[in-house]
Structure 1
């Protein structure tokens, strides 16, 4: 290991220290540490005992980070590559479910033939064998497990799917397209007339559970207009799954988590520019107070973040597609 000022370099990783003017910016009362792996495209995060599990879309690998702080690849190489719009696809998410690790595998890369593991929920056992739980998805971007039932976000179908332990699957809800009036006129006045209403796909992404309700982040489709992202919720069991609007005015929300106080953490992917794509440094992590709904930005200046994980009552982890893992710690009051 060698140190270069604020950077510590070890085994191909860069560890960026806090308090040296580096981006992203962290709110007062928090400490930020960043692990960077050049060339990686980190996506899914979950906790497995005392280990952190991470998916990498660039290599199709799963990584485990133990007490020594090092990322170690394990398991097979999952299908990976670029999708139709040039974004990475592969093992989006991973989480422990009993004796297996469950992997949400994205749709087939554009330069590959469809394989038996594409667009599926997969099970990786302790021996390293991969089994298919279900391939009845188009693009399973995120999921949670509650009482042995999988609740899966199918972003391509704009739906929330429920998968039983015995393999039975049903669609809980399919989101209608979202109307966006006026804003498109500013983007292209030659194509969009003044006062007309246009629709984009809802594109559900992140999913979370709080007090018996499933919370779903609606990213919104192209052209990814600023402030049009939403979070809605539906009852997990019983009742008519009519979505309730809980939060609006978000910039492409991509991941949801709930901390021990019931506060919701919402990760915004960022704001979009038609020429350059998602703007560098426009992503951020918000905390929404459970009682008041007040929003606090606790991590700003992110570039294409993907997942947020609540580690414990004081610590959070955020992944970015440019190979960064951000470890955020709420400092103890003096």
Structure 2
């Protein structure tokens, strides 16, 4: 199967139009500021000193937002376009690593010839000189860096890859296909999913985070993106043959995760899905999962196709949406 976009790989179908959704809703004790850029498709977020780094899949450019609040393009332009389903592909994420900035670059756009930067982990220095760390991916949607090691999510291969600074790579985990309950599938489409048939979907890993020496991975789940079918699983950072541990279930297409200053897990849900309408406008949300109790709190709701969540500091969070929105969430009181 040809890899598609980070969110649709192995899913087989996705509605293509990115539309504005309802106004976001904020939990008590939080203040929200939103900036919007018509035509942009914001994806990856990271912090570089006092600057916010953002990737834009609609232009292939990287943006830097300084303390003055202005977004300015910087660095090389990366390949971008639409995949065969019609979703944007390009630089999914950029992260500061020492003197370099490292980009996870997506699959080759459907109307382009494959280039040397496609489906790759790419570094560039202050002069803009490019260096490919590895192209041995299909769709490297997200990554983190810990102890000089890159931990890369390959959504197309349903795997977590460990990459050395010199490009040497080994697969830490390849996720099995997930079985879905026949009753749930019949409710979705009684004619397509007969009672006597079983149904499996690809796990489609997306976001990754590190907590307590374990890598936590969001499993988005493949088509038909059943409500509550998403999971968060974890594996030891050191690797090994152990099976992934299921930490959280019942999620709606989790796409990004992060760990806040209290050790709580933040989970960004892409939303709920309908075969006729696609992902429902306003169905995405940001959850906080208490580390001690597991209690879930919705701290930002009403999102449409959100992609990334970034912990800026102990009070502030940033969330991106494919519709060109950046949401800045500030906690005004203790939670």
Same fold at TM > 0.5: yes
SS in structure 1 of the partner of residue 186 of structure 2: helix
Match of 2:198 in 1: 197
Higher relative contact order (CA 8 A, sep 6+): 2
Alignment check: 8 A CA contact 1:181 1:195 kept: no
Gaps of 5+ in 1: 1-21
Alignment check: 8 A CA contact 1:227 1:251 kept: yes
Match of 1:82 in 2: 82
Q: How does 1:20-31 map to 2 (within 5 A)?
A: 23-31=23-31
Output the CA distance in 2 between the equivalents of 1:190 and 1:24. 35
Match of 2:291 in 1: 290
SS in structure 1 of the partner of residue 117 of structure 2: coil
Output the CA distance in 2 between the equivalents of 1:235 and 1:82. 35
SS in structure 1 of the partner of residue 28 of structure 2: coil
1:179 equivalent to 2:179? Answer yes
Match of 2:55 in 1: 55
Output the CA distance in 2 between the equivalents of 1:239 and 1:111. 40
Output the CA distance in 2 between the equivalents of 1:159 and 1:238. 13
Output the CA distance in 1 between the equivalents of 2:283 and 2:194. 29
**Higher alpha-carbon Rg:** 1
Output the CA distance in 2 between the equivalents of 1:91 and 1:34. 22
Output the CA distance in 2 between the equivalents of 1:277 and 1:115. 31
Deviations 1:24-80 (A, max 9, x none): 000000000001111000000000001000000000000000010000001121000
Deviations 1:83-114 (A, max 9, x none): 12111100001101011000000000111111
Output the CA distance in 2 between the equivalents of 1:289 and 1:261. 9
Q: How big is the shift at 1:238? A: 4.8
SS in structure 2 of the partner of residue 40 of structure 1: coil
SS in structure 1 of the partner of residue 59 of structure 2: coil
1:273 equivalent to 2:271? Answer no
Output the CA distance in 1 between the equivalents of 2:105 and 2:264. 29
Match of 2:4 in 1: none
Aligned length in residues:
312
Q: How big is the shift at 1:189? A: 1.9
Match of 1:7 in 2: none
Gaps of 5+ in 2: 1-21
SS in structure 1 of the partner of residue 114 of structure 2: coil
Q: How big is the shift at 1:312? A: 0.3
Alignment check: 8 A CA contact 1:173 1:241 kept: no
Deviations 1:204-255 (A, max 9, x none): 0000000000000000001111110000000001543410000000000000
Q: How big is the shift at 1:195? A: 4.9
Structure 1 runs, 4 residues or longer, greater than 3 Å off:
none
Q: How big is the shift at 1:82? A: 0.8
Moved more, 222-231 or 194-203: 194-203
Give RMSD over aligned pairs.
Answer: 1.0
Alignment check: 8 A CA contact 1:172 1:241 kept: no
SS in structure 1 of the partner of residue 227 of structure 2: coil
Output the CA distance in 2 between the equivalents of 1:149 and 1:242. 21
Match of 1:16 in 2: none
Output the CA distance in 1 between the equivalents of 2:242 and 2:39. 41
Which of the pair is proportionally richer in strand? 1
Match of 1:140 in 2: 140
